[in-house]
Amino acid sequence: MPFYQIFKSFTKIERYVFWGVFIMFIVASSFWGFSFFDSHTIKVPVSSGQYTEGIIGQPTFINPVISSSNEVDNDLSEIVYSDLIKLSDHYKVSPDGKTWNVVLKSDLLWDDGKPLTSDDVIFTIDTIQNPDAISPLYQTWQGVVAQRISELEIEFNLRSPYAFFLDNLKDLKIIPRHIFGAIPAANLRLSTYNLEPVGSGPYKFISYNKRKDAFITGYNFEINKNYASDKPYINNLSIKFYPNTEELIKAFNSRDIDGFGNLNPKNLNELKLTHQLIEIKMPRYYAIFLNAASNIALQDQNVKNAMELALNRKKIISDVFDGKALEVTGPLPPVISGYSPENISQEFSLEKSRDLLEKNGWLINNETGIREKTVGKNTVKLEFDIIVPQIPFLVETVNIIKDDWQNAGIKLNPIVLSPADISEEIIKTRNYQMLIFGNILKNNPDIFSFWHSSERFYPGLNLSLYENKKVDDLLESIRKNTDEITRNNDLKTLQTIITDDKPALFLFSPNYLYIAPNNLNGFEEKNMAMPSNRFDNINKWYLKTTRVFK
């Protein structure tokens, strides 16, 4: 009998039951089907779309050999150029640690189709080592001899073992000999290829846009088909440039850009669009560097201990960074290998700070409110000038410290100058009593340049003019020692000595804040040495996914 005749014979209740069972069967089948599909498939990225990032500033030299402090240049170089390790098939190190052989991948090409060989690597090193090029990498590569072994192999010979030489190779971005080889090193900055780069990175330069007033508004890139690693998922990349934070945030809120970095946490509430906030730790810190030779009071260990007791790092991080920073209490920030958590400074206590000064003869002058002490025939005041870069978070930090120290009887006189003036006039001459400044490390614990006595004067970076023979020996040993256990023991001792000596008062390490759309995935960086390192794995970023069977 046909089903419709059977169905017509159903009573009203039987029909309700039938439809109920039928619907439940459809729902159950659909659920089972979706469950089966979900459990037997995985999400995978697919190639698609365009991503636009906004940056404050202007490009000048998109050339990793000559670009230095301009973060825009470093950002674009990271996109266009590849480092030596990414171009290499493998490397080996001699037992004495002084000879490194790097073998390139075969059939490497520049994004214009020309071969990339060991000749390009040798040319890059030679250019860096040429004083006429004025490369910021010049000091890093002094004492290294690079030799061509074959079209694919390069040998590096070091004067002495250097435990962190691999990091130098990772930081070495190769430039094309066929583009720059005919240009005298002194004229490298005049080449148009510094704005129209030919590289070997994940993306290839296509064009840039410029206003009539010469302000460059944007750069456009496409996937580099000759890239030596996995190709990017995002088809097209654009970088747009803005003169200030206000314009950058306005562009984000109007959807002119998809994301941007280096956000001040105080600007978070100005973002109107939904987004993801990515916080990245960096091996950098800010400290107050003390020039003990400039003021006899800074040679008194009790004064330095009292100053630190009156440092409220937690308040600074809360008020200035909205909690998005790490406390730093020694010469290594917490994100660096070899950091010793045992070297923690005493907690903030104005009462203990006052008591310590009082017990050691530093008494309040009731007329000035400043502590003073008779040393020999002189009356020494706890009053200090501090040089402050004209950067909002540093000015705000010093004002907090100034108020707390005033309550301890220590007077601080901030002198706010432009970062350029500080670099050119103050740091070169070491003409300061105190200086609040930042140290930027690599992703390794080599802090030789910041604390070795040979680096006390310009162009060295020992801003406290610190001198300690034991510290010098440890710094030299750490550089040469490839045994991690022994090196970490040296690092622990080193941190204890510097933290106890207090050549500087360590403050904080701000997190790098990156704003991205919610559909951006593959952003893997949790720690990075430089802001430009956010693009290290840009080839893994993706915007869309699909499901495939396992």
Q: Which pLDDT tens digit goes with each residue over 454-464? A: 999 998 999 99
Residues 384 and 434 sit within 8 Å (Cβ to Cβ): yes
Residue 37 has pLDDT above 60, yes or no: no
Instruction: Report the pLDDT value the prediction gives residue 45, as an integer from 0 to 100.
Output: 87
Scanning the structure block, which residue is given the tokens 């502590």? 371
CA pair distance 288, 436, nearest whole angstrom: 4
Q: Which helix (H) or strand (E) element contains residue 364?
A: strand 363-364
Q: What does the pLDDT read at residue 428?
A: 94
Asked whether 154 and 117 are in contact (CB, 8 A), the reply is: no
Residues in the chain: 550
pLDDT band at 24 (very low <50, low <70, confident <90, very high): confident
Which band of pLDDT confidence, cut at 50, 70 and 90, is reported for residue 3?
low
Residues 301, 276 share a domain: no
**Residue whose pair of structure tokens reads 């034991």 in the numeric block:** 470
Residues 13, 18, 24: CA angle, nearest 5 degrees: 125
Task: Kindly report which listed range (12-16, 294-298, 299-303) carries the lowest average pLDDT score.
Answer: 12-16
Query: pLDDT tens for residues 333-377?
Result: 999 989 988 766 678 999 999 999 999 999 999 999 999 999 888
Please give the Cα distance from 56 to 248 (Å, whole number).
7
> What's the pLDDT score for residue 365?
96
- The range of the structural domain enclosing residue 7 comes to 3-39
Q: Last residue of a domain, which of 189, 221, 241?
A: 189
Summarize pLDDT for 416-430 with one digit per residue, the tens: 999 999 998 999 999
Helices (H) and strands (E) in the chain, counts: 16, 22
Per-residue pLDDT of 438-491, as tens digits, reads 999 988 999 999 999 999 999 899 999 999 999 999 999 999 998 999 999 999
pLDDT at residue 67, as a whole number = 86
Do 208 and 55 meet the contact criterion of CB atoms below 8 Å apart? no
Q: 542 and 412 in one domain?
A: no
In a 3-state reduction of DSSP, which class is residue 9?
coil
Q: What pLDDT is attached to residue 490?
A: 96
Tell whether 137 and 64 lie within a shared domain.
Answer: no
* Tokens of residue 231, six digits: 């190709």
115 contacts 109 by C-beta, under 8 angstroms: yes
For residue 79, is pLDDT > 70?
Answer: yes
Residue 41 has pLDDT above 70, yes or no: no
**437 shares a domain with 299:** yes
Distance between CA atoms of 74 and 531, rounded to whole angstroms? 9
Choosing from 160, 189, 218, the residue where a domain stops is: 189
User: For residue 231, what is the DSSP state?
Assistant: P
Question: So what's the pLDDT on residue 307?
Answer: 98
Q: Are residues 316 and 395 in the same domain?
A: yes
* CB neighbour list of residue 234: distance below 8 Å, 6 or more residues apart: 47, 48, 49, 50, 51, 538, 541, 542, 543
pLDDT at residue 509 is higher than 90 = yes
* Position 548 pLDDT exceeds 70: no
pTM summary value: 0.89
pLDDT computed for residue 44 by the predictor:
80
Reported as a single tens digit per residue, the pLDDT across 248-300 is 999 999 999 999 999 999 999 999 999 999 999 999 999 999 999 999 999 99
Position 34 pLDDT exceeds 60: no
Q: Evaluate if residue 92 carries a pLDDT over 90.
A: yes
Same domain, 317 and 422: yes
Q: What is the pLDDT of residue 243?
A: 97
Q: Chain-wide mean pLDDT for the chain?
A: 93
User: b/e map of 101-127 (b: 16 or more CB within 10 Å)?
Assistant: ebbbeeebebbeeeebbbbbbbbbbeb
d(CA 430, CA 463): 7
pLDDT digits (tens, 9 = 90+) for 220-258: 999 999 999 999 999 999 999 999 999 999 999 999 999
Both 410 and 504 in one domain: the answer is yes
| Residues 402 and 520 grouped into a single domain | no
pLDDT band of 526, cuts 50, 70, 90: confident
pLDDT tens by residue, 106-131:
999 999 999 999 999 999 999 999 99
pLDDT tens-digit series, residues 373-396: 998 889 999 999 999 999 999 999
Query: Is residue 449 located within the same domain as residue 318?
Result: yes
Question: What's the pLDDT band for 20 if we cut at 50, 70, 90?
Answer: confident
Same domain, 170 and 30: no
Among 277-286, 498-507, 524-533, where is mean pLDDT lowest?
A: 524-533
**DSSP per position, 418-469:** -HHHIIIIITTTT--SEEEEEEE--SS---HHHH-GGGSSTTS--TT----H
Strands (E), 441-543: 504-510, 512-516
Name the phi and psi angles at 195, rounded to 5. -110, -15
Domain contains 194:
no
In-domain check, residue 359:
yes
Task: Round to whole Å and give the CA distance between 526 and 165.
Answer: 23
Measure the CA angle with vertex 95, ends 92 and 98; round to 5°.
Answer: 75
pLDDT for 19? 65
Query: 11 vs 4, 15, 22, 238, 301, CA distance in Å?
Result: 13, 6, 16, 68, 99
What is the CATH number for 257? 3.40.190.10
User: Does any domain span residue 137?
Assistant: yes
Shared domain for 439 and 371, answered yes or no, is yes
CATH number, domain containing residue 114: 3.90.76.10
Task: Give 163-200 pLDDT, tens digit per residue.
Answer: 999 999 999 999 999 999 999 999 999 999 999 999 99
- The verdict on residue 170 lying in a domain is yes
Number of domains in the chain: 4
DSSP-derived pairing of the beta strands 325-327 and 504-510: antiparallel
pLDDT digits (tens, 9 = 90+) for 137-164: 999 999 999 999 999 999 999 999 999 9
The verdict on residue 35 lying in a domain is yes
Amino acid at 316: I
| pLDDT computed for residue 525 by the predictor | 77
Indicate whether 239 belongs to any domain: yes
| CA quadruple 494, 500, 504, 507: dihedral sign | positive
Return the CATH number at 354: 3.10.105.10
Alpha-carbon Rg for the chain, nearest whole angstrom, is 30
Using the predicted structure, report yes or no on whether residue 321 has a pLDDT greater than 80. Answer: yes
Distance, in Å, from the CA atom of 524 to the CA atom of 512, rounded to the nearest integer, reads 14
Helices 392-408, 301-309: axis angle to 10 degrees equals 110
Q: CB-based contacts of 399: which residues, under 8 Å, 6+ apart?
A: 414
- Percent of the chain at pLDDT > 90 equals 84
Residues 404, 340 share a domain:
yes
Tell me, what's the pLDDT at 546?
A: 80
